[in-house]
Amino acid sequence: MKTFSKLAAVLAIISILFLPVAGCGGRNVTGIDIIKEEQIEASIKIFLLLSIICGIIILFLKNYIPIAFLAIGGIVTLFISYFIAHDKLDRIELKVGAFIAIISYAANAVIGFVTKDEQKFLKRHSPSPSNFQQSAQRDSITEIENLSELRKKGILTEDEFNKKKTDLLKNI
């Protein structure tokens, strides 16, 4: 799953930078065009760069929850950039690069939260090694107690009891 997260982040970054992310008046622009263009407002560039930075940071993270939150941050900052631009230019629209980035970030967010829930579930419902060991010790002690009763009733000899007890104590 972590490999998928990394690939989705790379896809988001590449989509924002190199594919058309917005269009206005028949002209499509990539993230690189937006960053280079001097006439575009700085706040639009800042939020676009923040979206790209979210993707870059995801590449270096190992825990799913921070990946999920950064993916949401990537979506939010991309939309903020769009809404600022939309306020300035009436006919601006999102293009394929923006949609691919949004889908990539959304996939990372979903995977991050779902994977974390699976980890919690497995942690809660899987026997830990210490619980398993304690259970085995209790089972061995109960078995020794049962063998002792059989010895007292004369069903097992002292040697048979000692041999079985030694075997059970080795397992603890």
The 3-state DSSP class for residue 30 equals strand
Residues with Cβ within 8 Å of residue 118, at least 6 apart in sequence: none
Tens of pLDDT, residue by residue over 134-149, are 666 778 888 888 888 8
pLDDT at 1 exceeding the cut of 80: no
Q: What is the pLDDT of residue 143?
A: 87
pLDDT exceeds 90 at position 57: yes
Give mean pLDDT, residues 50-57: 97
Structure tokens at 19: 């594919």
77 vs 132, which has greater pLDDT? 77
pTM of the model: 0.67
Residue 9 pLDDT > 90, yes or no?
yes
Q: Are strands 93-94 and 27-30 parallel, antiparallel or unpaired?
A: unpaired
State pLDDT tens for residues 72-113: 999 999 999 999 998 887 788 999 999 999 999 999 998 888
Question: Residue 137 has what pLDDT?
Answer: 73
Q: Rounded distance, CA 31 to CA 40, Å? A: 12
